[in-house]
């Protein structure tokens, strides 16, 4: 599907204008990162070029090492490289040189389907934004201007994508790679046939030194992230939590899917925290387990008492009837 619309926040545009004004009478620019959902390209992060960039009134070149390192870093955080923004000094949209570079980019990066060019063209103290998407349809190189939808802030994305369902298999694969980079632990994927839910989890075996559990010394502690379906909507909730010995579960937090889809960076420290606080969660779960056992025991006693009372009353009634019979 070829993207037809660019979604960009007002703050981001203001940032581009400010950066352009900092470099008077020369071209400048930067890298664009975000997501592509169906026909929409969403800019979630922009990085301006470093001081090492070459800037003239018809030419602009970023520092290669800087650009590659930033792109690696962003892609690790699940933000795709979308393309570049750059400034023109009153000569409109993409030049022949820009078109050639876009084509070269798509040839060199065969895993990318699109390249976005966002040009801010300054003329008479005013500016115009021009968004162009480049792609390949088999061997044909396609260049197309796309509509720009300005939003006030990122939170507005929830409204735009409220009813849209996404297949998140790729997202989960990327998330597990991210988790591994961040926590050093390899998460296991599992899908439930019954409930259609999908889970990423990591298990660790703990020795209980102070004999928290009287029956055994070792306990399996697992941290999980559960998605209700693989076809998820932005407003669906995912849960993160812990499980003890595959049976006692505690949901630590429920998060709206859009919050991690547009920014998984905030999720990673939360999960690391759950690993760091493993002893705390083990204690809580074992305590609730003991409580459960206690209440089960109390219930059993109650039932036995009721049965005993019933039997006693039947016995009394029977013996009373028997006595009455003997009298007659």
Partner 1 sequence: MPRDLKYVIEGLENIKNKAAEVVIRRKEEDNMIDIETRKVTIPNIKHFFNDS
Chain positions contacting partner 1, by CB under 8 A: 27, 29, 31, 58-64, 67-68, 71-72, 75, 80-81, 83-84, 86, 91, 95-102, 104-105, 108-109, 111-112, 115, 177, 186
Closer of 109 and 288 to partner 1 (Cβ) = 109
Cβ nearer to partner 1, comparing 39 with 181: 181
For residue 274, CA distances in Å to 21, 188, 190, 221 come to: 45, 17, 20, 11
Query: How wide is the angle at C-alpha 151 spanned by C-alphas 168 and 121, nearest 5°?
Result: 110
Side-chain-facing half-sphere of 240: CA atoms under 13 Å: 16
Nearest residue to 262 via CA among 128, 179, 153, 116: 153
Cβ-based nearer residue to partner 1, 31 or 166: 31
Q: Comparing C-alpha atoms, which of 153, 117, 32 is closest to residue 81?
A: 32
Q: Closer CB to partner 1, residue 89 or residue 248? A: 89
Give me the least distance between CB of 94 and partner 1, in Å please. 9
Only one residue has tokens 């305590």, namely 287
Helix spans in 124-168 (H): 156-160
Indicate the length of the chain as a whole number: 328
3-state DSSP assignment of residue 212 = coil
Q: How many CA atoms lie within 13 A of 259 on its CB side?
A: 12
> Which residue lies nearer to partner 1 by CB, 102 or 260?
102
> Closest approach of Cβ 244 to partner 1, in Å?
22
Is the Cβ of residue 108 or residue 328 nearer to partner 1 in the bound state? Answer: 108
Question: Which two structure tokens, joined as six digits, stand for 152?
Answer: 């006030």
Please state the closest distance from residue 27 (CB atom) to partner 1, in A: 7
Q: What angle do CA 299, 251, 160 make, to 5 degrees?
A: 135
The residue among 93 and 228 lying less far from partner 1, judged by its C-beta, is 93
Q: Which helix (H) or strand (E) holds 136?
A: strand 126-137
SS3 139: coil
CA atoms within a 13 Å half-sphere pointing along the CA-CB vector of 181: 14
In sequence order, which residues have a C-beta less than 8 Å from that of residue 156 and are 6 or more positions away? Answer: 9
- Written as six digits, the tokens of 67 are 């650009």
Give the shortest CB-82-to-partner 1 separation in angstroms: 10
Nearest approach, Cβ of 3 to partner 1 (angstroms)? 17
Q: How far is the CB of 49 from partner 1 (least distance, A)?
A: 8
- Count of beta carbons in the 10 Å neighbourhood of residue 173: 12
Give the nearer residue to partner 1 in terms of CB position, either 27 or 212: 27
**CB of 195 vs partner 1, minimal distance in Å:** 28
C-beta of 79: minimal distance to partner 1 in Å? Answer: 11
Closest-CA residue to 132 (of 15, 43, 8, 4): 4
Which one, 75 or 293, has the nearer CB to partner 1? Answer: 75
> Minimum CB separation from partner 1 for residue 120, in Å?
12
Q: Tokens at residue 245, please?
A: 């010995």
């Amino acid at each position: 599907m070829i993207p037809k619309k660019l979604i960009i926040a007002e703050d981001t545009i203001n940032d581009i204008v400010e950066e352009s004004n900092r470099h008077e009478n020369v071209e400048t620019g930067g890298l664009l990162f975000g997501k592509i959902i169906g026909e929409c390209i969403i800019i979630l992060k922009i990085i301006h070029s470093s001081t090492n960039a070459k800037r003239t009134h018809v030419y602009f070149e970023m520092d290669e090492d800087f650009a590659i390192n930033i792109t690696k870093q962003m892609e690790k955080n699940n933000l795709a490289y979308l393309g570049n923004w750059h400034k023109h000094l009153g000569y409109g949209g993409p030049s022949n040189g820009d078109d050639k570079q876009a084509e070269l980019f798509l040839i060199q990066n065969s895993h990318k389907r699109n390249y976005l060019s966002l040009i801010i063209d300054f003329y008479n103290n005013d500016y115009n934004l021009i968004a162009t998407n480049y792609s390949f349809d088999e061997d044909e190189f396609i260049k197309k201007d796309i509509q720009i939808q300005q939003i006030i802030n990122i939170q507005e994305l929830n409204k735009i994508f409220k009813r849209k369902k996404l297949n998140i298999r790729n997202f989960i694969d990327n998330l597990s790679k991210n988790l591994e980079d961040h926590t050093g632990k390899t998460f296991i994927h599992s899908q439930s046939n019954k409930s259609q839910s999908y889970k990423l989890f990591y298990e660790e075996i703990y020795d209980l030194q102070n004999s928290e559990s009287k029956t055994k010394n070792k306990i399996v502690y697992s941290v999980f992230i559960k998605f209700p379906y693989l076809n998820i909507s932005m407003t669906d909730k995912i849960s993160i939590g812990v499980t003890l010995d595959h049976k006692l579960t505690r949901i630590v937090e429920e998060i709206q899917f859009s919050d991690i889809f547009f920014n998984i960076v905030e999720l990673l420290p939360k999960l690391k925290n759950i690993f760091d606080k493993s002893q705390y969660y083990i204690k809580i779960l074992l305590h609730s387990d003991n409580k459960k056992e206690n209440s089960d025991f109390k219930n059993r006693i109650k039932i036995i008492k009721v049965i005993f009372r019933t039997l006693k009353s039947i016995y009394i009634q029977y013996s009373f009837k028997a006595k009455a019979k003997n009298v007659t």
